[in-house]
Structure 1
């Protein structure tokens, strides 16, 4: 399957036949490809694209945060970089830059990880809003797939938050074991990190769409492209609002979980405090009669031992009644 890291670096080339993306053979002529997808490109592949007039940015250049390094036009080519969530070769989830290089002849993408839309789009390109008849439509179709994937991630995060918060707010959650609350806190933390990556992806895609809107004036088909771009911008903005809403839910879930943990700790401390208070008077009495003074008449009396035990019991009972009267236990 394209995009999986079985033997990086890799290059995938696609052409269009009957409004469908067709994978080209590995020895095919790249000049005939409409989409070239490079995964961790090697020096030889970068030179090969350079001979075709496409100068590919390095990973260090792609990671620059300045807009001038992520959105620019050079030698008739439009360079646009987004930061997208995906997986690396070992299965680690990361957010890394993906660069789109767009010209009138083809779309070139450069990436160093595996976002899922790059795996699914080749088989679904013809079902995108504008199809994939030319590089611009192909580019917008790929962005549409990416936006849909980010929406799916947010939807999944929302379901996890629903399940987690339901477990936190249910009756008896404060008395549940610490492992359960810790698991809930870890789950919320993972979803918060995932949503932060999605939020960053949406922000960079919105910038790409704004840049692309400004540069399509010279496209012969700009009148048909512009409504699709506006629709994608609205989708991105709606997802950003939804991501902010989920972020507020994350804050509520974290605060609630920490509050439950504090309640649980307070209950434990209260129990220990009650036990210490109940045993304090008997301990005091035992300490007094444990002092080896010469003149302690009770020690010589036959009722002295029973008297001490009775005194300990009475003071313990008195302490317990006092705590109950104060509603501390």
Structure 2
């Protein structure tokens, strides 16, 4: 799928199918087919395949060829089946045109065309369009981190609330299920933050590469302060992502600790029940033996006395456990 955009009165508008791609300032390729790759090759742009984009070597993700910069980032987004994933997105920047190649749908690519003119740099040139799109991506990653922080706040409060409920005998039912759900939520947020952290790292590399080569473009050297500002923003978000990752570790450890405490409470109840029935079981086992000489078996009071003795031992065990605060 191919979307081509040109500028008019400082705004982006989509070209119709069949229009000349040479007038486009931004061409967005989604899972390009052979015809679209051939059309871009006619414009002097070599479109990388998904296998090329997934290469982890820096030399394959950041390079210049024939005056065109090829830069690849790994960004979170949705696949065609609705599942979330972090996949590579290539930015191919020439003096006159920006080409993006992707195989999933990061949200900034869907929202940016509608308000590109409202970005700080606008979309008049390919360099400004590229940096404006990078700004949109950084803002989106910041929003994801902010949302993850709120989820962690709510989950942590729920975990500590479940711990307080576990100490009360009445609301104990369902505590383990809530803790398991909290653990699943934290796991999903940890995976999402890992995707964001990888996206920030690759965006930082792209900006550092672009900062080094932007001086070679006519009229683009003045963008260096803007690029440095975006670099500082990315580095600040990386620190925030690391902080949230530490909170994830703390929340996971707390949740697992609460689950262990709840399991210990259950095991303690079972141990108390076993302790209460242990003396009566011992007495019943003694009088269940088939020996010929057992004097108590021939007495009238033997049966009620044995029952009373069994009850007395159970009560004594229960009082002892209460005295030790084990109940």
TM-score between the two structures when normalised by the length of structure 1: 0.95
Give the match for residue 281 of structure 2.
283
Q: C-alpha offsets along residues 65-111 of structure 1, whole Å, 9 cap, x if unaligned? A: 00000000011110000000000111010110000000011000000
Structure-2 separation of matches of 1:206 and 1:173:
45
**Which of 143, 148, 154 is the equivalent residue of 2:145?**
154
Matches within 5 A, 1:173-252: 173-174=165-166, 175=172, 176-252=174-250
**Which of 3, 6, 11 is the equivalent residue of 1:20?**
11
Structure-2 separation of matches of 1:221 and 1:296:
110
Residue 172 (str. 1) matches residue 164 (str. 2): yes
Is the 1:173–1:260 contact (alpha carbons within 8 Å) kept by the matching residues of 2?
Answer: no
SS at structure 2 position matched to 1:172: helix
Structure-2 separation of matches of 1:182 and 1:326:
32
> Offset of 1:263 from its aligned partner?
0.5
Matches within 5 A, 1:64-213: 64-170=55-161, 172-174=164-166, 175=172, 176-213=174-211
**Which of 283, 295, 298 is the equivalent residue of 1:297?**
295
> Offset of 1:327 from its aligned partner?
2.2
Is the 2:5–2:13 contact (alpha carbons within 8 Å) kept by the matching residues of 1?
Answer: yes
Residue 62 (str. 1) matches residue 53 (str. 2): yes
Give the match for residue 306 of structure 1.
304
Structure-2 separation of matches of 1:66 and 1:229:
23
Aligned residue-pair number: 320
Give the match for residue 30 of structure 1.
21
SS at structure 1 position matched to 2:303: helix
Unmatched 5+ residue regions in structure 2?
167-171
Structure-2 separation of matches of 1:105 and 1:244:
38
Structure-1 separation of matches of 2:29 and 2:4:
9
Structure-2 separation of matches of 1:18 and 1:11:
23
Structure-1 separation of matches of 2:251 and 2:123:
43
Structure-1 separation of matches of 2:208 and 2:42:
30
Give the match for residue 169 of structure 2.
none
Structure-2 separation of matches of 1:124 and 1:188:
34
SS at structure 1 position matched to 2:64: strand
Residue 322 (str. 1) matches residue 297 (str. 2): no
Structure-1 separation of matches of 2:3 and 2:229:
29
Unmatched 5+ residue regions in structure 1?
1-9
